[in-house]
């Protein structure tokens, strides 16, 4: 014998009532509206009813419509053509376009649109020679206007509930209405369900009394032992329930926290700094000549106001760097052999890489040797945005200072970093060139099902970098695109997705 609970009875009664009005099936939303039950309760009860053959649950494609922002604006203010004829009525049924514009009741950009639709609807006539609009007839609200009013303030509405499809098509063409396709679950009562709810066949169905079973164990039930005799609610644990989206940190920010935590656990100290940097630390201290192409306005953002920063507190270091650029100073190099400009060194920019933080760290009086340092820095370059480039992105920068370091140590650190952080299966190193490292190495990594990705550059700082900053020991350094590390980790092939406002993607991204 089948036992029906209160929620199941409510749903059956609703379906039977609508069936008698020739509604063969109802959507879950309509059932929720009628029964005042949440969707999770409706689905649980629905699955139980389906198991007992009292209803059928089917998936049906449904067309939904929704007003665009412009459509909602017209729903509130009226269609442009309606506002135009209202103006004409107030001007005794005749006016030039200039007079209509002066009326200030209709935005200039809408006058042409309003005139076109008013002529099409035969509300007005227009004389091109005199630019005069003449009112033809008094008109009541048409079907497109009535639909706008009906849809005002509502979200998605089923197309089946709309009487006039012609008005839908008109508003759609005017881009005042969006149409979306969606698959909805619908409930349909069976013959057995109708018999059960009408109690014509009570032999196979038992209607539960109004007393509801207990749905939650309380301390009282457990302490007193009443739970032994209390009827507990049975639940179908396989029934789908409403998805819940608890608050969580953005997946990319969570990834950055994970990278930071791993580096700290490995003994690295974090380097921090401002986004606005002097050209001295961004370029000069890294042995990049002042006429290098990387300093062009097509490759770096210059600050308009103020244009220059103060580097006087680093005067000794600046002097060493200047001499290194001009003649090599004490580094054993010939330098770049040009006249160094102090004014150029003071030029303010948005930092183009995180390596400027490494330069500042090496110059610091608090530097310990040996030591390891890292930064996760937001950097800025005027790149053309595409699926692999952004004009604003993050780099994970790292340096290790130790008298016994070699290139082999650098490759080992990079390989471990790519595999543990990005989940790469294998790595590849290629020779590269940077003004501030020698040798220089480019890191690429491969992940099965994703492919190869270039992560960034690395190398051993040249003496022309370390000696002017007061460091005699070898320094291995790397600057990797942490955005691309996350892309490989998350299986994303478009870097713009990292900063996406797509709530569906953000909600479904798994918390690790």
Q: Is pLDDT of 201 > 50?
A: no
pLDDT at 204: 41
Supply 127's token pair: 């004389």
**Could you report the per-residue pLDDT of 248-272, keeping only the tens digit for each?**
888 889 889 988 998 898 889 999 9
Among left, alpha and beta (phi > 0; psi -120 to 50; other), residue 335 is left
**Could you report the per-residue pLDDT of 471-494, keeping only the tens digit for each?**
999 999 998 888 888 888 888 888
Query: DSSP character for 61?
Result: E
Q: Is pLDDT of 505 > 50?
A: yes
pLDDT at 137: 77
Q: Is pLDDT of 317 > 60?
A: yes
For 445-462, what is the mean pLDDT? Answer: 88
- What's the pLDDT band for 161 if we cut at 50, 70, 90? low
Tell me the sheet residues that pair with 2. 205
pLDDT at 512: 63
Q: Is pLDDT of 164 > 90?
A: no
Q: Is pLDDT of 370 > 50?
A: yes
* % of the chain beyond a pLDDT of 70: 93
> Does residue 159 sit in helix, strand or coil?
helix
For 67-89, what is the mean pLDDT? Answer: 87
- What's the pLDDT band for 54 if we cut at 50, 70, 90? very high
pLDDT at 202: 40
Q: Is pLDDT of 57 > 60?
A: yes
pLDDT at 104: 65
Secondary structure (DSSP) of 229-271: TSPBPP--TTS-----------HHHHHHHHHHHHHHHTTPEEP
Least confident among 106-115, 211-220, 275-284, 328-337: 211-220
pTM of the model: 0.57
- What's the pLDDT band for 451 if we cut at 50, 70, 90? confident
How far is Cα 264 from Cα 375, in angstroms, rounded to an integer? 11
pLDDT at 239: 64
Secondary structure (DSSP) of 9-42: HHHHHHHHHHHTTT---EEHHHHHHHH---HHHH
Is there a contact between 39 and 32 (Cβ–Cβ < 8 Å)?
yes
pLDDT at 207: 47
How far is Cα 1 from Cα 4, in angstroms, rounded to an integer? 10
pLDDT at 241: 65
**Could you report the per-residue pLDDT of 24-53, keeping only the tens digit for each?**
888 888 899 899 888 888 888 888 899 889
pLDDT at 343: 95
pLDDT at 144: 85
For 301-330, what is the mean pLDDT? Answer: 95
Is 150 or 328 the better-scoring residue by pLDDT? 328
- What's the pLDDT band for 76 if we cut at 50, 70, 90? confident
Query: DSSP character for 121?
Result: T
pLDDT at 180: 83
Structural domains of the chain in order of their starting residue, each with its CATH number: 1-54+190-242 (no CATH), 69-157 (1.10.10.10), 253-274+352-507 (3.30.930.10)
pLDDT at 200: 45
For 345-370, what is the mean pLDDT? Answer: 93
Is there a contact between 144 and 167 (Cβ–Cβ < 8 Å)?
yes
How far is Cα 334 from Cα 332, in angstroms, rounded to an integer? 7
Task: State the average pLDDT for the chain.
Answer: 86
Compute the half-sphere exposure of residue 157: CA atoms within 13 Å on the CB side of its CA.
19
For 291-319, what is the mean pLDDT? Answer: 93
Query: DSSP character for 458?
Result: E
- What's the pLDDT band for 203 if we cut at 50, 70, 90? very low
Q: Specify burial of residue 359 (Cβ count, 10 A radius: 0-12, 13-18, 19+).
A: buried
pLDDT at 357: 94
């Amino acid at each position: 014998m089948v036992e029906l609970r209160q929620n199941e009875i409510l749903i059956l009664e609703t379906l039977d009532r609508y069936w008698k009005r020739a509604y063969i099936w109802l959507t879950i939303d309509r059932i929720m509206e009628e029964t005042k039950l949440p969707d999770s309760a409706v689905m649980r009860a629905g699955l139980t009813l389906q198991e007992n053959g009292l209803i059928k649950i089917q998936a049906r494609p449904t067309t939904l419509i929704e007003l665009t922002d412009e459509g909602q604006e017209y729903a509130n203010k009226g269609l442009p053509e309606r506002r135009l004829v209202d103006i004409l009525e107030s001007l005794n049924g005749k006016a030039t376009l200039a007079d209509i514009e002066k009326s200030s009741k209709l935005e200039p950009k809408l006058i042409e649109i309003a005139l076109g639709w008013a002529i099409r609807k035969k509300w007005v006539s227009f004389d091109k020679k005199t630019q005069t609009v003449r009112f033809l007839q008094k008109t009541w609200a048409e079907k497109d206007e009535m639909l706008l009013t009906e849809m005002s303030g509502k979200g998605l509405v089923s197309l089946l509930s709309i009487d006039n499809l012609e008005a839908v098509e008109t508003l759609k063409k005017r881009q005042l209405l969006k149409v979306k396709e969606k698959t909805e679950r619908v409930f349909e009562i069976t013959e057995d369900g109708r018999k059960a709810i009408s109690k014509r066949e009570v032999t196979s169905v038992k209607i539960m009394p109004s007393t509801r079973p207990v749905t939650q164990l309380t301390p009282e039930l457990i302490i007193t032992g009443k739970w032994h005799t209390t009827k507990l609610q049975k639940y179908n644990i396989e029934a789908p329930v409403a998805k819940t989206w608890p608050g969580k940190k953005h997946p990319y920010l969570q990834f950055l926290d994970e990278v930071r935590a791993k580096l700290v656990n490995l003994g690295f100290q974090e380097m921090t700094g401002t986004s606005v940097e002097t050209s001295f630390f961004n370029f000069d201290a890294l042995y990049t000549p002042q006429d290098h192409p990387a300093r062009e306005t097509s490759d770096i953002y210059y600050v308009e106001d103020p244009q220059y920063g103060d580097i006087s507190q680093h005067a000794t270091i600046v002097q060493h760097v200047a001499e290194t650029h001009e003649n090599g100073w004490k580094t054993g190099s010939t330098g770049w052999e040009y006249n160094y400009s102090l004014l150029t060194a003071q030029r303010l920019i948005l930092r183009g890489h995180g390596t400027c933080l490494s330069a500042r760290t090496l110059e610091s009086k608090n530097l310990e040797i040996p030591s390891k340092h890292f930064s996760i820095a937001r950097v800025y370059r005027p790149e053309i945005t595409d699926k692999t480039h952004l004009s604003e992105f993050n780099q994970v920068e790292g340096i290790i200072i130790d008298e016994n370091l070699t290139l082999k140590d650098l490759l080992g650190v990079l390989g471990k970093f790519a595999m543990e952080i990005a989940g790469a299966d294998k790595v590849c190193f290629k020779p590269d060139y940077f003004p501030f490292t020698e040798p220089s190495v480019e890191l690429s990594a491969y992940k099965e099902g994703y492919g190869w990705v270039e992560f960034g550059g690395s190398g051993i700082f040249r003496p022309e970098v370390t000696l002017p900053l007061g460091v005699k020991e070898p320094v291995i350094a790397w600057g990797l695109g942490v955005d691309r590390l996350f892309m490989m980790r998350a299986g994303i092939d478009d870097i713009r997705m990292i900063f996406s406002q797509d709530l569906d993607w953000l909600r479904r991204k798994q918390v690790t």
